[in-house]
Each structure stands twice: as C-alpha cells, then as structure tokens.
C-alpha cells in the first residue's frame, strides 16, 4: 500500500499536473518517458516530513507553491514562478511605468546581480553600476532569496528609503548606498545632437512603444539639419520586449533576417525579417554596447553587425541569448519559462558569449594636456610667409565630451571618419 501514499499526501490536481508534464514530454521526445514514481515518492516523503516535523505549521498551499518556485528556479536564472503580485508587476513593467529603484537585476551565485540601472532613476543617480552584486537589502541578507522576493523587498511606498549593501569589482569591502523609492516612469528613447550633423539616440530599454519613439527621435534630429552620422547607444540596456527589438532593427535595415529562435516545441521556432520601409535610411551608424547590454539590445546589435549596417563599439555585452515565455496557469498567476535560444542572422548564439564589438573601447576618462607656452611653430619664426585667411568653420563640438563619456567621444570620431570616406562625399 506504500505506493498509494502519493495520492494521500498530494492534491489530485498536483499529481495530475505532474503526470501531464510527463505526457507532454512524451510528445516532445522521440522516445516515451515514464512517470518517475520513485522521485514522486521521495517528494511525497519530504512533504510528509515537513508537515509533521517542521517547528511551525505550514499550509499545503505554501509548500506546493514553494515547490513550484524551486522547480523553476533550478532550471536557469530566468525561469520563475509568478505569483499574483509578480504577474501584475511584469505586465506593468513592459508598459513602461512601475515603482521602485530602477534596477534591472538577475541571479548570480545566490546573490542579486545588477544587469543595468535604468536611466534617470534613483539607482542611476546613486551611482549603481552594471555588475554590482547586492548582498543585503536593509539589514537582511538576500543570499539564497529568489529573484522575485528580492525585487519585492526593493519596492515599496514612494518616498521611503531603502539601504542596499553592494560588492563591486575593484573595491575590497562591501559598501552601502541609501536610495529613496520613486515612481519609475521610463522614457525608453532619448536623443540629442552631439555636434552639427551628428546625433545620438539612447535606448534605455525595449518597451511596446520604443520603435515609435525611435522614429520620432530620428525625425527630430533630421529637423535640426543634415544628419551625417548617428550613434545608437545601447549601453546598460537590459532588454525588454522582443518585438520592440525587431522593430528597432527594422528601422535601420531594409531587408534580410533580423533574429530567429530555436527551441524544443514547434511554436518556439520563430524568425523575424526586415521590411523595405527604413526610417533611418543609410545614415552611417555606430552602436555602443557594454556588459550591461542584454537580451533585446543584443538582438539589435547582433543584427546590425551581421548585416554590416553598423560598426559595433564598446565592450562585450552581457550574453543573455534565451527567450522567456509567460505561460498563465490561472487568472492571476503564471510561469516565466525559458523556451528557446535566439540567434543572430548569421547563426550566432549569444547565450553566455554575448556580442563582441568590432572596435573595443573600454570605458575611461581622458584629460587634456595643456600645450607648452614655448612650443615652436612656423608662425613663430622671424620673417615667415603669411598664409591665406582660413575660412571660418563651425564645429559646435562639446570639448568636455571626451572627459565625460570617452566611449561616446570615440564613437563620434569614428562617425566622422566614416563620413569622410563615404563615396558620395568625394
């Protein structure tokens, strides 16, 4: 009668769900998969021990939901169980407005790793950087805490403070930062003119309306005069909606494959191609990436790189090349499950490797070396010939750009070189 214990200890619905999981596996695999009775018996035994011996009573609902969480979190850092609050937060996040600190995070070695701070949020203003590890929230260590739980702890009433303890490469000891929670309303696209003829478009994350904002930014820059070159800044862009990444890539490409996905289930095999309409035209393009560029931003960088539409500059990207699908399991709950890997047009898998830039430019600071007062030039020589009066040229260059943002400064220089070498400029 021992085998019946499974039915006695587990709700029928859970046991049916487990059975259904393995029936699905039979459809996916070529060989039939049998139900692992021994493993289910072990699960039932542990369930029974907790119910009877744990120091405090635990409800069946909590144990079973925790079991589901563990099942999903053990797969990879991005699969997760979404309870009612997490499910709602995810829907709000993709729409572009949510509350909190403004940090995109993931799991690493039991700690919460910062993928990227979001532009113009408390996290960015406090100096949080991509790659930081969050070890404590307030006085509570978060080692071993699920990603959803950690995010919940960072969110709270607008205007209330929260202290994060962080570890950063190059700093020996953990340090604390106190931030004030705010309503995070993210404008995903910003633009500005770097100097006459050269613009920059910054995409901080990919939302449902990002492509529309990008097109408006291109039009706004063109309205300021002839556009000779453009920097697409995807640094510290943690990703977002896949379709938005496809549409942004399409704004610069007139034909060809943008990205394709491959998974075990037939409906996970998708491909997306460019359409003839190209708002950006053939403007010379440099794409900036770094270790905080992940997921959807890697799709854009990879597509433009493979089609040789842009020169990718900066440092290696994050390397998140997997696709997560939200599968509702009830009216207000769901699971976020990794269902496929995505590949660039040339068949490169980004997973774990990331996008490698064509031109590596590390983040750095430069300082101007003042010219010596006694430097000798032709005009200092006695009796030198006079030259013709040079035509006045206005560059409108921001002399401090190289000191404030070295990578952007180098991207601008590269655009100028590309513009000089364009055949139609001769």
Q: What is the C-alpha separation between 90 and 407, in angstroms, rounded?
A: 32
306 catalytic per annotation: yes
Burial per residue of 286-306, b for 16 or more beta-carbon CB atoms within 10 angstroms, e otherwise: bbbbbbbbbbbbbbbbbbbbb
320 catalytic per annotation: yes
Cβ-contact 331, 246 below 8 angstroms: no
Q: What is the C-alpha separation between 337 and 325, in angstroms, rounded?
A: 5
Q: Which of 188, 204, 249, 295 is catalytic?
A: 295
Q: Which of 306, 317, 322, 336 is catalytic?
A: 306
Q: How many alpha carbons lie under 13 Å from residue 152 in its C-beta half-sphere?
A: 12
Q: Which of 320, 322, 336, 405 is catalytic?
A: 320
Q: How many alpha carbons lie under 13 Å from residue 21 in its C-beta half-sphere?
A: 11
Residue numbers annotated as active site: 295, 306, 320
């Amino acid at each position: 009668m021992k085998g019946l214990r499974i039915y006695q200890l587990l709700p029928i619905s859970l046991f049916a769900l487990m059975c259904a999981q393995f029936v699905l596996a039979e459809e996916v695999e070529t060989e039939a998969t049998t139900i692992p009775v021994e493993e289910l018996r072990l699960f039932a035994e542990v369930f029974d021990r907790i119910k009877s011996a744990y120091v405090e009573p635990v409800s069946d609902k909590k144990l079973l939901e925790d079991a589901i969480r563990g099942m999903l979190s053990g797969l990879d850092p991005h699969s997760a169980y979404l309870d009612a609050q997490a499910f709602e937060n995810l829907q709000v996040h993709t729409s572009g407005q949510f509350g909190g600190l403004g940090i995109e995070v993931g799991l690493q070695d039991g700690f919460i790793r910062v993928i990227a701070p979001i532009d113009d949020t408390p996290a960015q203003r406090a100096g949080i950087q991509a790659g930081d590890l969050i070890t404590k929230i307030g006085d509570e260590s978060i080692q071993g805490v699920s990603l959803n739980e950690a995010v919940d702890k960072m969110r709270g009433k607008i205007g209330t403070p929260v202290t994060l303890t962080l570890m950063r490469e190059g700093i020996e000891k953990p340090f604390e930062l106190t931030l004030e929670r705010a309503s995070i309303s993210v404008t995903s696209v910003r633009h500005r003119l770097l100097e006459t003829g050269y613009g920059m478009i910054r995409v901080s994350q990919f939302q449902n309306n990002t492509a529309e904002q990008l097109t408006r930014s291109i039009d706004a820059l063109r309205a300021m005069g002839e556009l000779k070159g453009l920097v697409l800044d995807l640094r510290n862009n943690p990703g977002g909606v896949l379709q938005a990444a496809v549409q942004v890539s399409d704004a610069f490409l007139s034909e060809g494959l943008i990205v394709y996905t491959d998974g075990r289930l037939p409906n996970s095999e998708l491909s997306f191609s460019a359409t003839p309409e190209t708002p950006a035209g053939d403007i010379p393009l440099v794409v900036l990436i770094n270790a905080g560029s992940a997921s959807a931003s890697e799709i854009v960088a990879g597509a433009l790189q493979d089609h040789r539409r842009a020169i990718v500059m900066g440092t290696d990207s994050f390397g998140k090349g997997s696709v997560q699908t939200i599968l509702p399991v009830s009216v207000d709950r769901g699971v976020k499950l990794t269902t496929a890997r995505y590949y660039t047009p040339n068949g490169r898998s980004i997973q774990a490797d990331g996008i490698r830039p064509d031109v590596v430019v590390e983040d750095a600071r430069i300082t101007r070396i003042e010219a010596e007062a006694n430097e000798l030039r032709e005009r200092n020589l006695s009796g030198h010939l006079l030259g013709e009066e040079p035509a006045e040229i206005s560059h409108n260059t921001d002399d401090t750009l190289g000191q404030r943002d070295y990578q952007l400064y180098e991207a601008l220089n590269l655009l100028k070189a590309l513009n000089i070498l364009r055949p139609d400029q001769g």
